[in-house]
Amino acid sequence: MIILGIDPGLAHTGWGVVETRGSLCRARAYGCVTTMASEPIDQRLGRIFDDLTEVIGRYHPSQLSIERIFFGENTRSAIATAHARGAAIVACSNAGLAVGEFTPMQIKQAVVGTGSADKRQVIYMVRNILGLDHDPKPDHAADALAAAICYANLKRTRNIARAVATDQLREQERAQREADAEAARQITAAATAANIARAQGKGDPLFSTRASRRSSR
């Protein structure tokens, strides 16, 4: 599975391509789309769209993992990030990528093991998980790789949970079949016992009459 992780931003949109094989996760490429504040908004968003479209065409990811944004105190900055995020999602949508959205806390939890991890911890774990011999730069690219790792980890967890649930369902079905078979055996045994009893004359008036005649002779 090839996953494109994106850390959206109008000035800097980080991207990272990760490939997974089983439990192994490795980086194929990463980088950052940079735009200037002096440029018109349409050109900045167009560059984000075009550059990410080129990345998708080069590495052929099938999944997108992108960070969700929250409108906090700096609403202006959040709106600019939302514009960049929209351009990125449209580029991925045009290529048919499945979209996964995660909060910063979810990404940190999946990569580091705690939602309160700082940036240094995230970079350290990204480097180790992907088997890199260096810290990925810039930080926006590292965050994008972290988003891709988050998608991979959660996907693997869901697959494991699904496999466990399937095994449990199969075990329940097997137990039910055994219970049904045992019930059927008990019914057959009861019917057989009843037939034997009747054959021996227990509760059979005709057989009892014949037996009494033989004993009176």
Residue appearing with tokens 């999944």: 63
Q: Is 140 annotated as a binding residue?
A: yes
For residue 119, is pLDDT > 60?
yes
Domain boundaries, the chain: 2-164
* H or E segment to which residue 28 belongs: strand 24-34
115 or 126, higher pLDDT: 126
Determine whether domain 2-164 maps to CATH 3.30.420.10. yes
pLDDT on residue 160: 45
pLDDT on residue 170: 67
pLDDT on residue 179: 73
For residue 187, is pLDDT > 90?
no
pLDDT on residue 130: 94
The structure tokens listed for 130 are 């992907």
Residue appearing with tokens 């033989």: 214
How far is the C-alpha of 13 from the C-alpha of 52, rounded, in Å?
Answer: 9
Query: Quick check: 91 and 56 in contact, CB under 8 A?
Result: yes
Q: Which residues are catalytic?
A: 7, 67, 140
**Sequence-ordered list of residues with C-beta below 8 angstroms from that of 24, at least 6 positions apart, any chain:** none
Q: Give backbone dihedrals phi and psi of 131, rounded to 5 degrees, phi first.
A: 70, 30
Q: Is 173 annotated as a binding residue?
A: no
Say whether 149 sits in a helix, a strand or coil: helix
Query: Quick check: 141 and 179 in contact, CB under 8 A?
Result: no
Q: Which of 63-77, 78-92, 157-171 has the lowest mean pLDDT?
A: 157-171
For residue 149, is pLDDT > 80?
yes
pLDDT digit string (tens) for 8-52?
A: 999 999 999 999 988 789 999 999 999 999 999 999 999 999 999
The dihedral sign for the CA sequence 9, 19, 105, 114? negative
Q: Is 67 annotated as a binding residue?
A: yes
Say whether 108 sits in a helix, a strand or coil: helix
Burial of 46 (0-12, 13-18, 19+ CB in 10 A): middle
